Amino acid sequence: MPIYSAPVRDYLFVLDEVLNIKSIDDMPGYADLEADTISAIMSEAAKFCENELLPINLSGDEEGCTLNPDGTVSTPKGFKEAFDKYNEGGWMGLSAPEEYGGQGLPYIMGIVMEELMVSSNHSWAMYPGLTHGAMAAFEVTGSDDQKRRFLPSMTSGKWTGTMNLTEPHCGTDLGMLRTKAEPMGDGKYKISGSKIYISSGNHDMAENIIHLVLARTPDAPAGVKGISMFIVPRNHIDEDGNVGEMNAVSVGSLEDKMGIHGNSTCVMNYDGAVGELIGEEGKGLQGMFIMMNAARLGVGMQGLGHSEVAYQNAAAYANDRIQGRSLTGPKNPDGPADPIIVHPDVRRMLMNARSFNEGARLVAAWAALLVDRSMHHADEAEREKASDFVGLMTPIIKGVFTDFGMQNALECQQVFGGHGYVREWGMEQTVRDVRIAQIYEGTNGIQALDLVGRKLPAHGGRAIQAFLAEIQELIDRNKGIDGMADFTDPLAKGLGRLQAASMWLMQNAMANPDNAGSASYAYMNLMGRVVLGAAWTLIAAKCLETLEAGTDGEDFYKNKLIVGRYFMKWRMPETGTFLKQVEAGCEDLMAMTADAF
Amino acid sequence: MPIYSAPVRDYLFVLDEVLNIKSIDDMPGYADLEADTISAIMSEAAKFCENELLPINLSGDEEGCTLNPDGTVSTPKGFKEAFDKYNEGGWMGLSAPEEYGGQGLPYIMGIVMEELMVSSNHSWAMYPGLTHGAMAAFEVTGSDDQKRRFLPSMTSGKWTGTMNLTEPHCGTDLGMLRTKAEPMGDGKYKISGSKIYISSGNHDMAENIIHLVLARTPDAPAGVKGISMFIVPRNHIDEDGNVGEMNAVSVGSLEDKMGIHGNSTCVMNYDGAVGELIGEEGKGLQGMFIMMNAARLGVGMQGLGHSEVAYQNAAAYANDRIQGRSLTGPKNPDGPADPIIVHPDVRRMLMNARSFNEGARLVAAWAALLVDRSMHHADEAEREKASDFVGLMTPIIKGVFTDFGMQNALECQQVFGGHGYVREWGMEQTVRDVRIAQIYEGTNGIQALDLVGRKLPAHGGRAIQAFLAEIQELIDRNKGIDGMADFTDPLAKGLGRLQAASMWLMQNAMANPDNAGSASYAYMNLMGRVVLGAAWTLIAAKCLETLEAGTDGEDFYKNKLIVGRYFMKWRMPETGTFLKQVEAGCEDLMAMTADAF
C-alpha cells in the first residue's frame, strides 16, 4: 500500500520564505497569508488527502467505474463519501469568489491543493478538477444570471462540471466538430451529437452534472468561428434551482483506459438535449480556452503530484530494501545486506525526481501568482506583463512538468525492481495514471507548438524578451555571492543556449514554418530546464542567506543545496542536446514521403 | 486492432547485404544462409507471427491467465493452439543442435525470430523464450545423460522450461537465497522453498514443465558459493521419458502485473519436491549466468520488438488520422484536414523509433554473430575476442535497447493522442508490456554496473580497448568517402566522448568505487549511442555503395540514409550530456544521509 505525506514544510518554504507572499500588498488576499495561515490550511488539506483520498486510490483503480443498465455510473467504493467530506470542508470553493459561497483565497492556494490531491488520488481529483475548469468558464464568460443560477451549487460541490470538446474524428482540430445546436425559439437550444473522452462525464457523487458542450449553430461558418459553447445540465433545473427530470443526455459507454480507472471517462450522447448558450455565439473557443488554460496548469500539477508520491515511495523502499552491498564496503555490517540507497545509481533515480519536485513547486507557485496578478492587479501594465508570462509558462508547466512526471514515475518504479511491476506496491498505477497528463488538454507536442508558434512571436516577441531579461537579471544579482556559482554558471550556460535557440527560430521559422515545428519540442524542453534552473537559483540564494543568518533547521537548507546542485550539474547539460536538436532543422524530418513511413 | 508486418526486407539487408553472412566460412551453418534461404525462413516466421500470434495478443492481455482451484493455470484463448503450431513448424528447435532434434541453424536466426515473436505477442513469446534459456543451461552444464533425457522433449516443445531465481527477500542479491536442497541418498534431492516472479511458471500448453531452481545444499557456505542448480520437473519423469505424477511443486498465486498478462507469472512453492543437481554443487550461479546471458540478449530484442510494432502502428495512424493543417499550407486540400504526418514533431517521434530500430537490428545481428563465434569458432583467439565483445554488448543490448524500447513505445503511443490511452488501439498494452524488459533479467541499473564494474576492468580493459580501436578503424575507413561525413563526424565526436568517459573512470573509480556507480548509467547510454552510431555508419556506407552501383530499389537505400542522418544529427548529441553526467562524479549523490531521502 503506497504511502504519502503532503509536502507542507516545502510549500511553506516556497510560499513564505522564497516568495514571501504575505508581503504582497498590491493584490487582494495575499497579505492574509501569514506562515501560520498557510500552515493551517495545508495541514487540513494534508489530513484530507492522506486520510480520505489515499486509502481509496489503489482500490479505486482495481474496481474502476461501472456503467449500470439504467445509464447511471457507479464510482468506486468510498469515492462519494470522500466527495461529501471534501464539500463539507468547503474545499471546492477554496479559491472561488466569496459571493458564490467560496472562501476567496488566492489561486495560488488552489494550485497547491491540486498537487496534494493528485498525489493521493488522481482519478478522484479529476471530479473537482473538471468542476473548477467549468467554474472558471462561468466566471469569465457567463452572464450574471448564469453565474447566479450555477456557480453557488458548483462552488459548494452540489453539482459538478465537465468539458465536452472531443469527438471521434476531432480532438486537436476542433474546427471539424459536428455537434449541432438548434434554436428552440425560447432562447434555448437543442443539442445533438456525440462526444468522447469526457472525464467525470457521469457519476453518482453529485446531484447534477453541468456539461459545457461545444457545438455548432445552424448556418454557423465552417471552422472554429462557427463554434459556440452551451450549458447542458444532465438533469433539468428550474428557476429556483431545483433539479428535475433527465435531459436527453446519456452515456454511450465508459472508455477502457490504461489508467485513471476511478474516473468515469465517458462517451456522451446528446440527443436533442436542452441547453443554453454561454458567452457569445461563435465565440465558444474563447470560453473553452479559459477552461483549458486553467486546466493546463492543473494538468502540469498532476505531473508534479505523481512525481512526488512516486519519489516518497521509492525513497522509503530504497531505505527498507536490503540487497547487496555498498561498493565502498558494508554500511549495514550486522545485517545480511545493505539497504539499496547505498547505491549511487539508485540515488540518481531518486534525485532526478526530487530535484524536479522541489524546483517545480516554486515554478508552479510563481506561475499561480502571475495568474492572480494577471486577473486581479489594479495596474494594467502589471496585468499585461503577468499575462505574458502566464502565456509562456502554461505550455512549459503542462508539457515539461508532465514529461518529468512520467520519467520520474518510471524511474521511481525502477527503484522497486520487480516489485515495481506488480500492482500491490502502487508504482505501476502511478505510471499508468500519470501517462494521461502528457496527452489530455492538448498533447505535449501541441503545447510545444503553442509555445513556439503562438507565445513566442506574439507582440513581436515581447514575452520571451522580458523573460530572458529577467533570468539574466537573476544571474547578475547572484553571481558574485559565495556559493552561488554552482547555480549561476550552469544557468548562464542554459540561458545562452535558450537565447541561441530563440535566435535560430527567428532566423529560420519565417523562411520555413516546418523549422518551427521541428524545433518546438526541443525548445520547450530547453526552456523548461532554464525555468527550473532559475527556480533552483532562487532557492539556493534563499538557503545560503538563511544558513548565513543561522537557523534551527540547518539540514533542511543544506539538503536543498545538495539537491539543487544535483539538478544544475546533472540535468542542465541536457540543454546542450536540445539546442543541437533545435538547430538540426526540419530537413531530415521532412525528406521522406509520407508513405515511406 | 494493432497491425504488424515482419521486417523481412530489413533483415535481408542487415544479414545478407551488410554482414554478408553467407560468406562466413569459418563457422558452421553460415555458408548455407544465402539470401533465398534467409528469406524463406523469415517469410515462414513472419506468417506464423502475423497470423497466429498477433491475433491473440490484445485478447490475451484482456483475458489474462487463471489459476484454477486444482492448481492448474489456464492460458488465454488460442495460446495453446498457437504453441502446437509453433512446435509443428519446428520453431522451438530452430537454432538447437540437430542431435536433439533441432534444426541446427546459427544463433543469429534465433535472435531474428525473437524480435518477430515479441512484436506480435510478448506474453506468448516468453513461453518458448524461457525454454530456450533452460535449454542453454542444459547444453552447457548438463551431463550427457541429462541432455539425453531432457533436451529432445524441450527442443520439440513437448516440455517447456523456467528459471527459478528470485525469492521474496532476494532478487539481485542471490547470495541471500534460502531455498533448500536436501540429499535423499539416491543422488536425488528434496527441494523446499518459495520462488516469486516465475515467468511461464505453470500453464496448460505443454506436457511437462522443467523448473531449473537455485537452492542451497545443507552445510553449503553462505553467499553465492553455496548455491547449486537443480532440475525439478513439475511432473515426475521415468527413465523412458514418460511423464507421471505431480512432483511436490505448486503455484502459490499468479502475480498481478502491470502487463504481460498472457504470461503465467507465478509464485512457485517447492515442498520437498524431488530434483537432481545440474552442473557442479556450489556452481549454480554459473549455470544461471548461462541462462541469463542468453536471456539478456533476448530481452534486448524485446525492446526492439516493441519499438518496431509501436512504430508500424504509429506510422499507419499518422498517415490515416486527418487533423489540422500543415504549417506550410494544406497537403490534402480536398479533404477537411491533413494527415498528421505532415507535422515535423509527429515525424520526430516516428523517427526516434525508426532510427533506433534499423540501427539496433544490425547491432543485434552483429552480437548474435559474435555469440556464435565465441562458441563455435575453431580458433581460440577468435573465440576469446568474440567473447570479450559479447561481454560488452550484453549489458548494452539489454539495458539500452529496452530503454529505447520503452521511450519509443511511449512516443508512438503519443502519436495517437487520446486514442493511445485506450485499450482498443493496442498502444497502451505495448507500453505496459515493454516496461518489464527494463526490469527483469537484471534491472537496467544492474546492467550498467555489470558493464562498468565487471566488463570494463576485466583483463586490464582488453575488451573496451579493442572496441574503441574497432570504432576508430571504422571511422578511418569511411571518413574520406563522399557522403559519409554526416556519419563519421558525429561518430568521431561520440567516440571521443566515450574515450574521455573511459579515461575518467580509470582515473576516478579506483579512488572511490562510488564514482563507478554514479557514472555507470550515463556511461552505458553513451556507449549505446556510439554502438548505434557505428551501426548507422556501416549501413550508410553500404547504402552509398549500392546506390553508386545502381539498383532497382533506390528508395529503400535513400530512405535509410535519411533515417540514419536523423539518428546522427538528433540522437548522437546526447553523448555530450552523458559525458557531463559521468564526469559529475558521485559527490552530490552521496552527500545526503540515507534518511534525508
The full DSSP string for A143-160 is: -HHHHHHHHHHHHTTSEE
Active-site residue, from B411, B441, B473, B574: B441
In a domain, A538, yes or no: yes
Split at pLDDT 50, 70, 90, the class of B44 is: very high
Distance from CA of B473 to the nearest CA of A (A): 27
Three-state DSSP state, A4? coil
Phi, psi of A291 (to 5 degrees): -60, -45
Active-site residue, from A441, A473, A548, A554: A441
Chain A partners of B402 at a C-beta cutoff of 8 Å? none
Q: Reply yes or no on whether the pLDDT at B294 is more than 80.
A: no
A278 bridge partner residues: A229
Stretch B424-450: mean pLDDT:
97
Residue-wise DSSP of B157-203: TSEEEEEE--BTTBSS-GGG---EEEE-SSS-EEEEEEEEEETT-S-
Q: Reply yes or no on whether the pLDDT at A291 is more than 80.
A: no
Three-state DSSP state, A420? helix
CB contact under 8 A, A351 and B589: yes
Question: Is there a contact between B412 and B347 (Cβ–Cβ < 8 Å)?
Answer: no
Chain A partners of B439 at a C-beta cutoff of 8 Å? 414, 417-418, 420-421
Distance from CA of A578 to the nearest CA of B (A): 9
In a domain, B212, yes or no: yes
B271 bridge partner residues: B192
In a domain, A531, yes or no: yes
What amino acid is encoded at B562 in this protein? Answer: I
Q: What is the pLDDT of residue B325?
A: 95
Q: Reply yes or no on whether the pLDDT at A96 is more than 90.
A: yes
Give the whole-angstrom CA distance, residue A528 versus residue A396.
6
Question: Is there a contact between B487 and B544 (Cβ–Cβ < 8 Å)?
Answer: no
Give the whole-angstrom CA distance, residue A122 versus residue A127.
9
Pairing relationship of beta strands B227-233 and B208-216 according to DSSP bridges:
antiparallel
Stretch A203-212: mean pLDDT:
97
Q: What is the pLDDT of residue A294?
A: 76
For residues A146 and A209, membership in a common domain is answered with no
Distance from CA of A424 to the nearest CA of B (A): 8
Question: Is there a contact between A163 and A291 (Cβ–Cβ < 8 Å)?
Answer: yes
Residue A186 touches chain B, beta carbons under 8 Å: no
Stretch B550-565: mean pLDDT:
96
Among residues A150, A185, A201, the one where a domain terminates is: A150
Question: Is A441 designated active site?
Answer: yes
Q: pLDDT tens digits, residue range B320-355?
A: 999 999 999 999 999 999 999 999 999 999 999 999
The residues, ordered by sequence, that sit 6+ positions from A288 with a Cβ below 8 Å of its Cβ are A137, A163, A165, A174, A214, A227, A229
Q: What is the pLDDT of residue B239?
A: 87
Phi, psi of A233 (to 5 degrees): -70, 145
- Residue A435 buriedness (CB in 10 A; 0-12 / 13-18 / 19+): buried
Three-state DSSP state, A24? coil
Residue A169 touches chain B, beta carbons under 8 Å: yes
Q: What is the pLDDT of residue B563?
A: 98
Split at pLDDT 50, 70, 90, the class of B28 is: confident
Stretch A344-367: mean pLDDT:
98
Residue B511 touches chain A, beta carbons under 8 Å: no
For residues A593 and A456, membership in a common domain is answered with yes
CB contact under 8 A, B423 and A347: no
Give the whole-angstrom CA distance, residue B60 versus residue A16.
53
Stretch A536-550: mean pLDDT:
98
Pick the range with the lowest mean pLDDT from A224-228, B154-158, B531-535. A224-228
Q: Reply yes or no on whether the pLDDT at B208 is more than 80.
A: yes
Q: How many independent structural domains does chain B possess? A: 3
Question: Is there a contact between B160 and B154 (Cβ–Cβ < 8 Å)?
Answer: yes
The residues, ordered by sequence, that sit 6+ positions from A405 with a Cβ below 8 Å of its Cβ are A302, A303, A304, A305, A306, A307, A434, A437, A438
Q: What is the pLDDT of residue B125?
A: 98
Distance from CA of B333 to the nearest CA of A (A): 14
Q: Reply yes or no on whether the pLDDT at A60 is more than 80.
A: yes
For residues B481 and B574, membership in a common domain is answered with yes
What amino acid is encoded at B581 in this protein? Answer: Q
For residues A31 and A135, membership in a common domain is answered with yes
What amino acid is encoded at B105 in this protein? Answer: L
For residues A21 and A114, membership in a common domain is answered with yes
Q: What is the pLDDT of residue A37?
A: 95
Stretch B368-397: mean pLDDT:
94
Split at pLDDT 50, 70, 90, the class of A292 is: confident
CB contact under 8 A, B439 and A414: yes
Three-state DSSP state, A90? coil
Q: pLDDT tens digits, residue range A399-427?
A: 999 999 999 999 999 999 999 999 999 99
- Within B321-440, residue ranges assigned H as helices are 344-376, 380-395, 401-415, 427-434
Residue B557 touches chain A, beta carbons under 8 Å: no
For residues B17 and B127, membership in a common domain is answered with yes
- Selected for mutation to probe chain A from B421, B446, B593 (highest A CB count within 10 Å) is B421
Element (DSSP H or E) covering residue B519:
helix B513-549
Stretch B196-215: mean pLDDT:
97
Chain A partners of B570 at a C-beta cutoff of 8 Å? 580-581, 584, 588
Give the whole-angstrom CA distance, residue B138 versus residue B151.
7
Cell representation of residue A396: 512549459
- Which of B562, B574, B589 is facing A347, going by the closest CB pair? B589
Split at pLDDT 50, 70, 90, the class of A237 is: very high
Chain A partners of B350 at a C-beta cutoff of 8 Å? 597
Residue B421 touches chain A, beta carbons under 8 Å: yes
CB contact under 8 A, B256 and A422: yes
Residues 436-455 of A with CB under 8 A from B: 436, 438-440, 443-445, 448-449, 453
For residues A506 and A589, membership in a common domain is answered with yes
Q: pLDDT tens digits, residue range B443-483?
A: 999 999 999 999 999 999 999 999 999 999 999 999 999 99
Q: What is the pLDDT of residue B342?
A: 97
In a domain, B475, yes or no: yes
Stretch B397-419: mean pLDDT:
98
For residues A168 and A95, membership in a common domain is answered with no
CATH of the domain at A138: 1.10.540.10
CB contact under 8 A, B589 and A566: yes
Secondary structure of B528-581 as H, E, C letters = HHHHHHHHHHHHHHHHHHHHHHCCCCHHHHHHHHHHHHHHHHHHCCHHHHHHHH
Rounded to 5°, angle at Cα A480 from A477 and A485: 100
Among residues A228, A255, A282, the one where a domain terminates is: A282
- Residue B416 buriedness (CB in 10 A; 0-12 / 13-18 / 19+): buried
Residues 33-92 of A with CB under 8 A from B: none
Please provide the distance, in angstroms rounded to a whole number, between the alpha carbons at the two ends of chain B: 44
In a domain, B397, yes or no: no
For residues A38 and A134, membership in a common domain is answered with yes
In a domain, A117, yes or no: yes
Question: In which domain, by residue range, is A452 found?
Answer: 445-597
CA distances from residue A251 to A72, A80, A196, A204, B423 in whole angstroms, order as listed: 8, 19, 10, 13, 19
Residue A510 touches chain B, beta carbons under 8 Å: no
Question: Pick from B566, B482, B532, B486: which is nearest to A584 by CA?
Answer: B566
- Selected for mutation to probe chain B from A216, A253, A258, A575 (highest B CB count within 10 Å) is A258
Give the whole-angstrom CA distance, residue B166 versus residue B441.
10
Split at pLDDT 50, 70, 90, the class of A43 is: very high
The residues, ordered by sequence, that sit 6+ positions from A267 with a Cβ below 8 Å of its Cβ are A194, A195, A196, A198, A201, A251, A252, A253, A254, A255
Q: Reply yes or no on whether the pLDDT at B418 is more than 90.
A: yes
Split at pLDDT 50, 70, 90, the class of A65 is: very high
Among residues B251, B282, B313, the one where a domain terminates is: B282
Split at pLDDT 50, 70, 90, the class of A295 is: confident
Pick the range with the lowest mean pLDDT from A441-445, B188-192, B286-290. B286-290
- Which of B315, B431, B584 is facing A570, going by the closest CB pair? B584
Q: What is the pLDDT of residue B178?
A: 95
Q: What is the pLDDT of residue A286?
A: 82
CB contact under 8 A, A417 and B171: yes
Residue-wise DSSP of A332-351: STTSSS-BGGGSHHHHHHHH
Split at pLDDT 50, 70, 90, the class of B111 is: very high
Split at pLDDT 50, 70, 90, the class of A1 is: confident
Question: Pick from A407, A415, A422, A420: which is nearest to A318 by CA?
Answer: A415
For residues A165 and A135, membership in a common domain is answered with no
Give the whole-angstrom CA distance, residue A174 versus residue A511.
28
Give the whole-angstrom CA distance, residue B294 versus residue B27.
19
Query: What is the Rg, in whole angstroms, of the alpha carbon atoms belonging to chain A?
Result: 24
Distance from CA of B31 to the nearest CA of A (A): 33
Q: What is the pLDDT of residue A382?
A: 94
Q: pLDDT tens digits, residue range A483-507?
A: 999 999 999 999 999 999 999 999 9
Q: What is the pLDDT of residue B580?
A: 98
The Cα diameter of chain A in Å comes to: 83
Split at pLDDT 50, 70, 90, the class of B285 is: confident
Question: Pick from B268, B276, B198, B197: which is nearest to B232 by CA?
Answer: B276
Cell representation of residue A532: 527550473
Cell representation of residue B116: 518477430
Stretch B417-437: mean pLDDT:
97
CB contact under 8 A, A351 and B443: no
Q: What is the pLDDT of residue B295?
A: 83
CB contact under 8 A, A597 and B354: yes
Q: What is the pLDDT of residue B293?
A: 78
Sign of CA dihedral B361, B554, B342, A580: positive
For residues A131 and A35, membership in a common domain is answered with yes
Q: How many helices (H) and strands (E) does chain B have?
A: 18, 11
Q: What is the pLDDT of residue A353?
A: 98
In a domain, B462, yes or no: yes
Distance from CA of A374 to the nearest CA of B (A): 31
Mean of pLDDT over chain A? 96
Q: What is the pLDDT of residue A95?
A: 93
Give the whole-angstrom CA distance, residue B87 versus residue B206.
10
Question: Pick from A344, A538, A411: which is nearest to B588 by CA?
Answer: A344
Phi, psi of A472 (to 5 degrees): -60, -40
Stretch B489-495: mean pLDDT:
98
Q: What is the pLDDT of residue B172?
A: 85
For residues A595 and A458, membership in a common domain is answered with yes
Chain A partners of B166 at a C-beta cutoff of 8 Å? 418
Percent of chain B with pLDDT over 90: 95
Q: pLDDT tens digits, residue range A308-348?
A: 999 999 999 999 999 999 999 999 999 999 999 999 999 99
CB contact under 8 A, A345 and B594: no
- Selected for mutation to probe chain A from B170, B258, B331 (highest A CB count within 10 Å) is B258
CATH of the domain at A210: 2.40.110.20
Is this prediction's ipTM beyond 0.95?
yes
In a domain, B288, yes or no: no
- Which of B172, B323, B570 is facing A417, going by the closest CB pair? B172
